[in-house]
Amino acid sequence: MTTRTYPAYIGGRDITGDSGRYVHTVSARALIDDTFPTLRLKRDLDEGRAVPAGARGALVGACAIADEAMTGQAVRAAAEAAPAWARVPLADRMAIGQGIARRLVERGAELVELLVAEGQPRGMSEGIVYGIPQTTWSPETLDWCAEQLAIRRDTPERELLLRRVPDGVVCLNPPQNAATVNALNGLTALLAGNTMVVRAPRGVGLSCMYLLREIVAPVLEEAGAPAGTLNALCGPPMLEDWIASEHVNDIIYFGGSQKGIQFERDCVAAGKKPILELAGNDCCVVWHDADLDAAVDSLAQFFMNSGQICNVPNQVVLHPAVADTVLEKLVETLSRIRPGYPEDPEVVLTPVLGADWFFGCLGEALAKGAKLVHGARRLEVDGTPSETGFFIEPTVVRIDGLRGARDMSVVRDETFFPLLPVIVPEGGRSDADLFEEVLTFVNSNAYGLRNSLWSADPATVGRYLEAVVNGGNLKINDSHGNFLPFLPNQGGTGLTGGVFGEANHPMLRTTHLQAVSIGRLH
């Protein structure tokens, strides 16, 4: 693989700044095979005590670290470009969106290799790179969003228009665990007429900068977009600078709920629109008449990236009549999930850095009455049990009874490791009464990213849709975690999206509604 180096991209120019500092990406395989020497190499490269020429094999690339001056320069460039970019006709901006989707497919193989080198399993990397043009960036999605930007009604006396106009400068702070896919989702704000500043996280900056610099920016430049329409830089957190800047209108923030809710308050106090993508703690309900094999396939999605992504079923409620059968099928499926190097297309598990958190959470659940069904061992990359392995075996605990389930952290809070709680409500009452209790449990979740239901009964499905108001996405007899065209793939309620949280198409959330009437002259 070619070693890549990316400066910041500000106002249409490559800029390295005065410090000359870079953050280096070393391959995940090298980190797994030779952990401490590889970490020392990365540290020495970052601090300038080693040179890239001496790091062949382990080194994947580097990104210039932006300083405070570059952060300010980026938002000013975006503000200067905003009026001209907003005047570009919507049809032209949509054509640029189609060009970005095509370029993503054309350059997809290179982006996949960078994601794999950073540690994301190949299967998931390919799903993201080749799936996004069919979902978030698909014509079905973007065309529908474009339709919402201008809705006209004519009367004999006047023309009436409801239009959504761009907010202006949008800053995007994608998360460390899934920077590139979330940057891709957020970048649709460009098509609404906003200019953007994107901060690539230092830990996975290379793939994110590749996306911005090699795919998105060239399409904008070829179309004649104003310099400063897109600005990309890798560096330390920039949120305080963005909040303080007079040029910034919206901030798309990814992060934990506790910090995110406080960030929302800070944004509102500063006159910025916060668009929050925080923690997810999704619930999947499997009813007695469900397609159990399909449901189990959906539950197993939780273990992708070792449970270290948000849009997966973090907790499961099983009807008592099928609980034992579902657990048997789930354990059989999990027995085939194994660790390995990210280059392997069959690998699902990734290293878990929070092993102490995992075992503390598991210990609390078992002490409060949960039963271990499967897993709970640390593993080496070849699957061998080990006291020091970086991987953790897919783990399932059973909790009998809804009452008290949320006293356990594994149910109450978002976790970031492969520990799935399965809750089996107490029987001895009618299915209708039991389902009402389950619906109350789903709606009382403090988080609200996605919820899903498996049931073959139209009445059960109808009651679920009637009752469940929690969540940005509801998935019925469908994959819990998949992305689909037309539907937004982000956004949620409660601790997931904050006070203003809802399902989120960034192309719409970064605009505001304006009403226009034009009287007819006689």
Q: Mark residue 506 as left, alpha or beta (left: phi above 0; alpha: psi -120 to 50; beta: remaining).
A: alpha
Please give the DSSP secondary-structure letter assigned to residue 385: B
Residues 365/421, Cβ–Cβ less than 8 Å: yes
Q: Which residues, in sequence order, are CB contacts of 182 under 8 Å at separation 6+?
A: 174, 175, 254, 277, 490
Q: Which residues, in sequence order, are CB contacts of 375 under 8 Å at separation 6+?
A: 334, 392, 393, 394, 395, 396, 418, 419
Containing 33, the helix (H) or strand (E) segment is: helix 28-33
Q: How far is CA 337 from CA 196, 292, 330, 382, in A?
A: 40, 19, 11, 12
Give CA 84 to chain center in angstroms.
30
Amino acid residing at 312: V
Residue 519 burial (CB count, 10 A): 8
Q: Which residues, in sequence order, are CB contacts of 458 under 8 Å at separation 6+?
A: none
Q: How far is CA 234 from CA 26, 166, 394, in A?
A: 16, 25, 34
Q: Lowest-confidence range among 50-54, 85-89, 199-203, 496-500?
A: 50-54
Its CATH architecture, for the domain 8-14+67-278+505-509, is: 3-Layer(aba) Sandwich (3.40)
Dmax over CA atoms of the chain, in Å, equals 85
Average pLDDT over every residue of 209-215: 97
Residues 411/445, Cβ–Cβ less than 8 Å: no
Encode pLDDT of 103-143 as tens digits: 999 999 999 999 999 999 999 999 999 999 999 999 999 99
* Both structure tokens of 329: 């099928």
What is the number of residues in the chain?
522
* Both structure tokens of 506: 């960034």
Encode pLDDT of 495-517 as tens digits: 999 999 999 999 999 999 999 99
Residue 96 burial (CB count, 10 A): 20
Q: Which residues, in sequence order, are CB contacts of 378 under 8 Å at separation 6+?
A: 355, 385, 386, 387, 388, 389, 390, 391, 392, 393
Place of tokens 């060009």: 99
Predicted pLDDT of residue 218: 98
Bridge partner list, 6: 63
* Strand, helix or coil for residue 493: strand
Q: Which of 511, 498, 504, 487 is nearest to 141 (CA)?
A: 487
pLDDT at residue 54 above 90?
A: no
pLDDT at residue 451 above 90?
A: yes
* Strand, helix or coil for residue 17: coil
pLDDT band at 53 (very low <50, low <70, confident <90, very high): confident
Percent share of the chain, pLDDT over 70: 100
pLDDT at residue 90 above 90?
A: yes
How does the average pLDDT of the chain come out, rounded? Answer: 95
Predicted pLDDT of residue 428: 84
Residues 318/286, Cβ–Cβ less than 8 Å: yes
Containing 61, the helix (H) or strand (E) segment is: strand 59-64
Encode pLDDT of 456-491 as tens digits: 999 999 999 999 999 999 999 999 999 999 999 999
> What CA–CA distance (Å, rounded) separates 271 from 281?
30
Residues 384/275, Cβ–Cβ less than 8 Å: no
pLDDT at residue 62 above 90?
A: yes
Dihedrals phi, psi of 113, to nearest 5 degrees:
-60, -35
Predicted pLDDT of residue 57: 80
Residue 329 burial (CB count, 10 A): 18
* 57 vs 244, more confident: 244
Please give the DSSP secondary-structure letter assigned to residue 486: S
**Burial, 241: exposed, middle or buried (Cβ in 10 Å; 0-12, 13-18, 19+)?**
middle
* Both structure tokens of 192: 């609404």
pLDDT at residue 55 above 80?
A: no
Containing 504, the helix (H) or strand (E) segment is: strand 503-504
Residues 172/490, Cβ–Cβ less than 8 Å: no
Domain ranges for the chain, please list them: 8-14+67-278+505-509, 282-488
Place of tokens 């629109």: 273
Dihedrals phi, psi of 60, to nearest 5 degrees:
-100, -40
pLDDT at residue 412 above 90?
A: yes
**Burial, 71: exposed, middle or buried (Cβ in 10 Å; 0-12, 13-18, 19+)?**
buried
> What CA–CA distance (Å, rounded) separates 169 from 195?
5
> What CA–CA distance (Å, rounded) separates 1 from 130?
20
* Both structure tokens of 311: 């849009």
> What CA–CA distance (Å, rounded) separates 71 from 240?
11
Amino acid residing at 117: A
Please give the DSSP secondary-structure letter assigned to residue 405: G
Query: Any alpha helices (H) in 339-473, and if so which ranges?
Result: 355-367, 409-412, 431-443, 458-467
Predicted pLDDT of residue 20: 85
Class of domain 282-488: alpha beta
